[in-house]
Structure 1
Amino acid sequence: MGSNAYWFAIWFTNSKDKTVVWTADRDTPVNNRGSRVSIRRDGTMVLTDVDGRIKWQTNTTNTDVAAAELLNTGNLVLKNRRGNILWQSFDIPTDTLLPSQLLTKDKKLISSLRKGSLESGYFNLYFGSDNVLSLISDSPQISSIYWPSPYSDIYASGRTNYNGSRFAVLDDKGMLFSSDHYQANASDMGSGIKRRLTIDPDGNLRIYSLTNSTGLWMITWQAISQPCQVHGACGSNGLCVYTPKPKCICTPGYAANDPRDWDAGCKPIFNLTLVNSEVKFLELSQFDYFGSDLYYKPNFTLEACRELCRSDSGCKGFTYRTFGNGHCYAKSDLFNGFASPDFPGSVYIKLPRSLQVSKPSIFHDSSTMCESPEAEILLGSPSIYNIARKTVRWGYIYSFCLALGAIELLFFVLGWWFLFTKHGVPASVEAGYRMISNQFRRFNYAELKKATKNFREELGRGGSGAVYKGVLADDRVVAVKRLGDVVQGEDEFWAEMRTIGKINHINLVRMWGFCSEGRHRLLVYEYVDNMSLDRHLFNPNFLGWKQRFAVALGTAKGLAYLHHECLEWVIHCDVKPENILLDGEFQPKIADFGLAKLSRRDSPGSEISRIRGTKGYMAPEWALNQPITAKVDVYGYGVVILEMVKGIKFSNWVVDDADNHKIPLKSLDRTVKEKSEGGNSSWVESIVDSRLEGNYSRKQAATLIQLGLSCVEEDQSKRPTMLLWSKLSWNVKMKQIKFQIECNCLIFYFSRLCKYY
């Protein structure tokens, strides 16, 4: 758009970039000279261009309209003389939903075409015909829903379609709620913060919170943790990959139509008419293309699928899934291509035999490691290239501004030193300084050495290093973890710390800061009063049943946040009782998340092996060299809750039958299946911790055992997700336990009655 293009819009005055939240007609701007907004005698508010043509108007024809008013909520309203609202901008949203603004069945949010633009894009948030709040890619090439996940039914996503009202709202505290039972929270939940819910040009739905001091927006929740799950992000014949940040590339054998605009997709560099004898197939492991299926063949061999596609001129490739029996999906188009460590299969691209192509690199340099690829770039946005050009063009000006900034910073530091060291600090100023300094920050080594009294009081020691108790200068009690061998250099370590520092959840240990000086790498955490779960589970001072139950549910919520709601994609890799801490009220807080990338865990004397994890809690896929996904955490979690039920460590279990030599978990699973038939609950007493002396709920115990066994299935595709765990609600009435999940299973035995895939 030219500089003369103007819009009638509403924006945040305190935001640095004057963030627009509503426009009257986003696709047809007006001339800045002579265009005007007015209220006519018939009650309509109109936007006219310089030539007098009406470009936009309200649907009001009430002669009682007295005034237009912009409310503090961001709602533009037309009122009559009695103050009643006759029309409001909240009823016709663009790409943003403000707190208290309702999104109903006849409304939708439509993304902007690209970053910095106001014109309509291709991604929509709306209520579909199934009454479910959904994100859809509605491009000229194809239309498909990508959130909730199309790979599982709505109940597995924690939704319900028994919902006639169809509404969604973001409240003043940062909670997003919709009538299909979906609920999400901003990481900084609380009143007094300006927020917005926006569908961005990259197709992701995010909650933003405004930082008043800087005028900048901070992402505090997003719907999709892995950006490559957004359909249409890379256009036709494009692939979305993590390297480690998400980016678009072309399918091997194809070239970009416009490298600055991935909506344009890619075109083949070969003749599409191929003779059977000239065809070859390039395998891309852990890639898939959603939709565009010519046909689907279950229980099919790989070779049969290959021949089927080879003989069909309309087939451009096929996907072959390897879970259970083979599944063959022939593709008429290569659209919505993405790389995923969770995908159990490969895609085979149909190419001329003479064409030499290479496979793309995915998931950073080691796809089997538990890593947290950042998701900050808006895929397909040409603004990335514009920024690069501007950086070169304005390099000298930036250098000059940097020099001025350094001089200004020097004066600030000198003034601060003079004020605070020479004349004392007023109580109010000191309180404000403490409030600022208490946030995530970088510590120096001498500061932490003093706080821990030269690392005198050791709290514990694990595979990633020793933990010491310390007291900071502001009297905060902290736990300081001293890391062993660290892979990253200074810059990489700082980048990882910024990622982990953003993570905030009631069931995760809060990180206050870090230290990186020379060979010293230290992490500063909040101090958790009651230490780790293992000290209260396998020792004489054991937890009661009610506390164990609360720990099971709280731990599930923390892991669900890491896997599905966290701003970065995080797999813990080492879920065990030693990494679950208990606060003063015995509520669980997960520790050591995000450390899989930082430490070398194959050092001599470490019980953690080269394949990352602790023996007894490691999922089978580590040893089988299968793709590592969030399901490794689900496995470890299953072992933990079974240990909480039994009250002893997994390695100490002995099964009292003729098959003692067999794996305890398999024997336990067989025992439960045999003894639970016919509704007999007497088997529960033989498993539950005898120290509880019968003081526990039989129904809760039976359900936890069955849930735990579901989590430790050898086949990772049969394990539930932590998102399902976090949606569980427990209702106790007259000692009757109803275990209810938001997928309309009234009484839920985790792996027996409900199917997830």
Structure 2
Amino acid sequence: MANRDEPVNGKQSKLSLKKNGNLVLTDAGREIWTTNTKSSSPLQLQILDSGNLVVTQLDKKSYLWQSFNFPTDTILPNQPFTKDTVLISSKSSTNYSSGFYKLYFDNDNVLRLVYTGDEVTSVYWPSPWLVPWAAGRTTYNNSRIASLDTEGQFKSTDDFKFTTCDYGISTLQRKLTLDVDGNIRVYSLTKRRWIVSWQAISFTCTIHGICGPNSLCTYNSEMGRSCSCMQGYKAKNQSDLSFGCESTFDFNKHLDYYDFLKLPSVEFYGFDSLYIQNTTLKECQKSCLDDPSCKAIQYNYDSAFKFFVCYTKRLLFNGIYKDGLSYDQKLVNESRLECTSSIIELQRTYAKNGGNGSIKFMLWFSIIIGIIEATCFILFDYITKQPSGATTQSYLAIVTGFRRFTYDEIMKATHKFKDEVGRGGGGVVYKGLLPDNRVVAIKVLHEATQGEAEFLAEMSTIGRINHKNLIETYGYCAEGKHRILVFEYMENGSLAEKLGTDELDWTKMLEIATV
């Protein structure tokens, strides 16, 4: 993210590849970022399968510019991490501007993590109290290069190396990221989710600056990391833990007002003003009281030299509570600092385009005209068709006595044509139930070629036929292409079905034929 400290709003932003070979990002007419490249060759901008965004010189078949040389907080497999490469974390999960943590090759050729705050800067990985060889590193190299391969192995020229927990699966997508909390993690894409497959620091409270000044950090697997202010201190900003805590008392008062508060198992790393060997607690306390810049002392037993040592602290950074999951509430404030998202306000004027006014007017004018035309068409259709339908309905009611059903009524009566009871050349018969609880047979005729007038004429003819051995016709449906008849339902089936069985003898059949 090349423009991370000058974000764009996305409405009047444009990324352009110029003919002179320069890739430029503009926002509200202002140039935000550029590659500062030049070329007279034919150019192509593309993103490769490796994730590398490149400007290619087509005739030379070489890269004029590539994003792999300018990472932000992440490197991808086979992307080289060199002496000129620096990863910088984001400030928060929603604020992508430059944060407080950096990963880089130091002057002694060792890969390091450093915290760079407004007041202090300190290296915290590898452990700063260890010489390089004790931390498994070597300074005897001059290439200063590292990379992560596709199978999940990382190698650096300072002898630092590791493999991910899913090492060997080369088909996984991976990325190595310096996260907002100052920890390096490798993520693997599994089932469309990024899963941590390796991290540099397990005990995250050892990351410097994580809770800000004058605060203590503790960690457990259930609740994660939390930050608390010590007694006599309050949170500077309840919405952002990186601001730390500030004192509620006056350091400029007379020494008689001061006393020491014991914090067992607490350590503040660095920023020592004095180091005294083989001394007593009272002598250590006096050394601090005599120093106007002293804020606290660290007094502990050195098992290697068999005596007590004293450190006077001028700043209280990197506070860690080592033993246990909770503090003595008499010593530490109960409130926890919670981190929320940050907001960046863009100080730019986004001018409105005057040419859009006429376009918007024409658009709205066309929409209104279209609505008026559609309304007139529907109204005309309703006026012209309604009397004809009403006349036809009245005519059939008088001539035949049949009821005209709508297609929706037929659908409800048959439960969407669920129960099929017969099929013939003319159509399909379904069993149905009318609202008055009459069981009916509903015959859906095959797609008719005749018009509605012809169909209604035939219905009129059927209506004039009346015989006790013929089933009664209740009504019909003539809607669109649908031609449907509604009959009396025969519980025992049709006569045609009975004639082909042994249920009727010759006497009974003769009786039926002659009646």
Normalising to structure 1: TM-score of the pair?
0.42
- CA distance in 1: counterparts of 2:248 and 2:33, whole angstroms: 46
Give the equivalent residue in structure 2 for 1:208. 187
Which of 107, 116, 122 is the equivalent residue of 1:129?
Answer: 107
**Amino acid in structure 2 at the alignment position of 1:233:** I
SS of 1:304's partner is helix
Q: Is residue 2:322 matched to residue 1:340?
A: yes
Which position in structure 1 is the counterpart of 2:231?
252
CA distance in 1, matches of 2:42, 2:227: 51
CA distance in 1, matches of 2:297, 2:82: 39
Which residue does 1:157 correspond to in 2? 135
Q: Distance in 1 between matches of 2:315 and 2:146?
A: 34
Q: Counterparts of 1:133 and 1:263 in 2: how far apart (Å)?
A: 25
Match of 1:146 in 2: 124
2-structure distance, mates of 1:217, 1:172? 15
Shift of 1:158: 0.5
Task: After TM superposition, list the pairs within 5 Å mapping 1:334-733 onto structure 2.
Answer: 334-341=316-323, 358-360=330-332, 381-382=339-340
Cα deviation code 1:63-93 (max 9, x no counterpart): 2251111001110011111321121000010
How many Å separate the matches in 2 of 1:73 and 1:167? 19
1:326 aligns to what SS in structure 2? strand
Task: Give distance in 2, aligned partners of 1:207 and 1:361.
Answer: 35
Secondary structure in structure 1 of the residue aligned to 2:135? coil
Structure 1 contact 206–219 (Cα < 8 Å) conserved: yes
The structure 1 residue matched to 2:172, chosen from 193, 196, 219, is: 193
Number of the residue aligned with 1:274:
253
Displacement of 1:59 in angstroms is 2.9
Equivalent residue for 2:51?
74
CA distance in 2, matches of 1:118, 1:284: 37
Maintained 8 Å contact 2:176/2:187: yes
Aligned pair in 2 of structure 1 residues 316, 189: CA closer, same or farther (>3 Å)?
same
Tell me which of 324, 327, 330 is aligned to 2:312. 330
Question: Would you say the 8 A contact 1:202–1:380 is kept in 2?
Answer: no
Supply the distance in 2 between the matched residues of 1:162 and 1:329 (Cα, whole angstroms): 34
Amino acid at match of 2:91: L
Gap change, CA 1:59 and 1:172, over 3 Å in 2: same
Task: From 207, 211, 225, give the equivalent of 2:202.
Answer: 225
Larger strand share, 1 or 2: 2
**Structure-2 separation of matches of 1:25 and 1:258:** 28
Q: Which amino acid in the other structure matches residue 157 of structure 1?
A: A
Q: Are the aligned partners of 2:13 and 2:28 in contact in 1 as well (CA < 8 Å)?
A: yes
Please give the secondary structure, in 2, of the residue aligned with 1:121.
Answer: strand
Kept in 2, the 8 Å contact 1:263–1:380? The answer is no
User: Is the Cα contact below 8 Å between 1:68 and 1:77 reproduced in 2?
Assistant: yes
**Secondary structure of 1:322 counterpart:** strand
| Aligned equivalent of 1:318 | 297
For 1:34 and 1:314, the matched residues in 2 are separated by: 52
SS at 1:283 equivalent: coil
Tell me the equivalent position of 2:349: none
**1:236 corresponds to:** 213
Distance in 2 between residues matched to 1:168 and 1:65, nearest whole Å: 33
| 2:230–2:333 CA contact under 8 A, matched in 1 | no
| Distance in 2, Cα, partners of 1:262 & 1:330 | 25
Contact 1:229 1:338 in 2 (8 A): yes
Give 1:32 deviation, angstroms.
1.8
How far off is 1:303 after superposition? 2.2
> 1:383 Cα shift?
5.2
**Which residue is equivalent to 1:169?**
147
Change (3 A) 1:137 1:40: same
Q: Which of 13, 21, 25 is equivalent to 1:43?
A: 21
Per the alignment, do residues 246 and 267 of structure 1 end up closer, same or farther by CA in structure 2, a change over 3 Å counting?
same
- Deviation at residue 360 of structure 1 after TM alignment: 4.1
Q: Distance in 2 between matches of 1:357 and 1:242?
A: 17
* Deviation per residue, 1:706-755 (Å, 9 max, x gap): xxxxxxxxxxxxxxxxxxxxxxxxxxxxxxxxxxxxxxxxxxxxxxxxxx
Distance 1:340 1:104 in 2: 36
Asked whether the equivalents of residues 115 and 381 of structure 1 are also in contact (C-alpha less than 8 Å), the reply is no
Structure 1: stretches of 5+ with no match in the other structure: 1-22, 343-355, 363-376, 385-757
Local SS of the residue matching 1:173: coil
Partner of 1:95: 73
SS in 1 for 2:15: strand
Deviation at 1:31, TM superposition (A): 3.1
**4+ residue segments displaced more than 3 Å:** none
Q: Kindly indicate whether residue 7 of structure 2 is the aligned counterpart of residue 24 of structure 1.
A: no
TM-superposition CA deviations, 1:104-149 (whole Å, max 9, x none): 1111000010012211111111111121111110111110000001
The residue that corresponds to 2:416 in the other structure is: none
Q: Shift of residue 41 of structure 1?
A: 2.3
Deviation of residue 242 (structure 1)?
2.6
Identity of aligned residues (%): 41
Aligned equivalents of 1:301, 1:65: Cα separation in 2: 77
Q: Does 1:59 align with 2:59?
A: no
Q: Aligned in 2, Cα 1:160/1:274: closer, same or farther, shift over 3 Å? A: farther
Counterpart of 1:54 in structure 2: which amino acid? E
Distance 1:141 1:239 in 2: 18
Partner of 2:391: none
Aligned counterparts of 2:333 and 2:244: Cα–Cα separation in 1: 19
Cα deviation for residue 339 of structure 1 reads: 2.0
Task: Summarize deviations over 1:386-415 as a string: whole Å, max 9, x none.
Answer: xxxxxxxxxxxxxxxxxxxxxxxxxxxxxx
Q: Which amino acid aligns with 1:37?
A: L
Deviation of 1:357 after TM superposition, in Å, equals 7.7
Aligned residue identity for 1:26: R
Partner AA of 2:312 in structure 1: A
Contact 1:65–1:78 at 8 Å: present in 2 too? no
Query: One-letter code of the match for 1:136?
Result: V
Local SS of the residue matching 1:146: strand
Give the match's secondary structure for 1:135.
Answer: strand
Deviation at 1:168, TM superposition (A): 1.5
C-alpha deviations, 1:351-384, integer Å up to 9, x for none? xxxxx9822499xxxxxxxxxxxxxx9x963259
CA contact (8 A) 2:228 2:333 kept: no
Indicate the residue corresponding to 1:296 in structure 2: 275
Change (3 A) 1:185 1:46: same
Q: Is the 8 A contact 2:229 2:333 kept in 1?
A: no
2:54 maps to amino acid: V
**How big is the alpha-carbon RMSD for the aligned residues of Structure 1 and Structure 2?**
2.3
Verify the 8 A CA contact 2:230 2:331 in the aligned structure 1: no
Alpha carbons 1:289, 1:338 under 8 Å: kept? yes
Task: Judging by fraction of residues, say which structure has more helix.
Answer: 1
Kindly indicate whether residue 116 of structure 2 is the aligned counterpart of residue 116 of structure 1: no
Q: 1:277 is paired with a residue of what secondary structure?
A: helix
Distance of aligned partners of 1:238 and 1:382 in 2 relative to their CA distance in 1, 3 Å threshold? same
Structure 2 counterpart of 1:122, one-letter code = F
Contact 1:76 1:89 in 2 (8 A): yes
SS of the equivalent of 2:139 reads: coil
Preserved CA contact (<8 Å) 2:229 2:332: no
Question: 1:275: how far off?
Answer: 2.2
Distance across 2 between alignment mates of 1:131 and 1:266 = 36
Give the whole-Å Cα distance in 1 for the aligned partners of 2:117 and 2:99: 8
Counterpart residue type for residue 39 of structure 2? N
